[in-house]
Amino acid sequence: MEKTMSRKTILLMAVVTGVIVANLNFIQPIENLIATDFGVSKAVVGILAMVTQLGYAFGLLLIVPLGDIFDRYHLIQFMMILSIVSLIIAFLAPNAAVFAIATTLIGITSVAPQIIIPYAGYLAPALQRGKVLGIVLSGLLTGILLSRSFSGLLGSIMPWQDIYLVAAVIDLIFLVIVHRFMPKDQRGHQDLNYLSVIKMLPKLFISQKELRGSSINGFCMFGMSNVLWSTLAFYLADQYHLGSNVAGLLGLLGIAGVLVAPWVGDLVDQKSPKLTIGLSMIFSGLAFVIFWLVGFWIIGLIVGIVLLDLGTQFSQVSNQAIVQSINRKQSSRNNSVFMFSYFLGGSIGTLSATWAWGKFGWSGVCVVAFVFLLISILDHLIVGEPQKLNTEE
């Protein structure tokens, strides 16, 4: 294990994390295009977006714990290969049913970032763990943001299926880079039984207060984020008569979250994760107040998106720092529990917001977000977060 992490290693982990997680979000700005091409309703496309995240959630639950058992250097590459195959199936899908299978597989196989994140936490010195995780997570958020812009812009100039082919080629290039430059896992394979590891996951959630609090907060904050991004393309088309390219461009506003991620990591290290979690709820809550009251003005959307992405990033960095500080020997298992809850919240946010859009329009979408916010506030008050991170090696 490295006593210190080189900037090259940290940057590599951040970039690869962003490239792989991008696969999950290509569908969001092009939902209208998919609905038109396959001749299905917006509600059906909302389900397609949901199963991507639901597949990812179950991949997190069943695959990420393997990081505590197998050599992570090889496991990351194996999952990247499976992800490339899934992207190719999506590119070739002749109908919505096959595409649903492909997009579920994309979700399940795109879990390498959640193997990389605890690996980065394992390699980082204890007093710098928050900062290192902040940088790696800024790569994650960058991938999410650029994937929406990438997908939305390409969807306006070429068949939407080609987006998945281009993504497969990019992932293949980075697979070669990972094979050449990713640090080898000095632990090797561990003498752990897979079924025993999986059976332990509910016990970890129940027995570790910090993990429980972070999991509930992540569920709610990512749920709120997906409430917006799963319905924004519909709202832009209905309110402004704008297409997927604009939905993609608005995704770039989240660059504010990327820029503050290392600073948030420092704030978690030096101050308190309780403070930064509180700020995440304030930012996300204000965002939806703005969406509801002045979302019919484009400036309202812009300000709200910046605030929401800040809230999402504050939550993600803070919770990852908490989770990775609990127990280094079971970091992948703790991360699996946390990220399963995170993307379960995202998938429920997507489905409930798409349903609310069809029934009640934009106001219904905002009400769904406030339900998530209320749950997060109750979690903050009842379960809470640690005042300081555990810095024991």
Q: Which two tokens stand for residue 36?
A: 């038109």
In this predicted structure, what is the pLDDT of residue 1?
43
Q: What is the spatial distance between Cα 299 and Cα 288, in angstroms, rounded to a whole number?
A: 14
**Rg of the chain, C-alpha, whole Å:** 19
3-class DSSP assignment, residue 36? helix
Per-residue pLDDT of the chain in tens (393 residues, 90 and over written 9): 445 678 899 999 999 999 999 999 898 788 888 988 999 987 788 888 888 888 988 888 889 888 888 889 999 999 999 999 999 999 999 999 999 999 999 999 999 998 998 888 888 887 777 778 878 877 887 888 788 788 888 988 899 999 999 999 999 999 999 999 998 887 777 777 888 888 889 999 999 999 999 999 999 999 999 999 888 888 988 888 787 677 667 777 777 767 776 777 777 777 788 889 999 999 999 999 999 999 889 899 999 999 998 899 889 889 988 888 887 778 778 888 998 898 889 889 988 998 999 899 999 999 999 999 999 999 999 998 887 776 554
Give me the pLDDT at residue 385, please: 84
Q: Which of 20, 333, 4, 339 is nearest to 178 (CA)?
A: 20
> CA of 227: how far to CAs of 323, 347, 350, in Å?
25, 9, 5
Tokens (6 digits) for 327: 């127990």
Q: How many CB atoms lie within 10 A of CB 303?
A: 18
Which tokens hold the place of 9? 């290693």
**DSSP letter assigned to residue 182:** S
Domains of the chain: 7-183+192-382 (1.20.1250.20)
- Are 341 and 372 contacting, i.e. CB atoms less than 8 angstroms apart? no
Query: pTM score, two decimals?
Result: 0.76
Which residues contact residue 191 at a Cβ distance below 8 angstroms, ignoring those fewer than 6 apart?
Answer: none
Contact in structure between 235 and 358 (CB atoms under 8 Å): no
Give CA–CA dist 24/87, Å, rounded.
10
H/E stretch holding 322 reads: helix 298-326
Please give the backbone phi and psi of residue 156, each rounded to the nearest 5 degrees, phi first. -90, -10
Distance in angstroms (rounded) separating the CA atoms of residues 27 and 31: 6
Report the 10 Å Cβ neighbour count for 329. Answer: 11
The C-alpha atoms of residue 382 and residue 50 are separated, in whole angstroms, by 29
Q: What is the pLDDT of residue 4?
A: 65
Tokens at 190, concatenated: 């561990």
What type of residue sits at position 161? Q
81: alpha, beta or left? (left if phi > 0; alpha if psi -120 to 50): alpha
pLDDT confidence of residue 77: 96
At 219, is the secondary structure helix, strand, or coil?
helix
State whether the Cα torsion 52-118-113-214 is positive or negative: positive
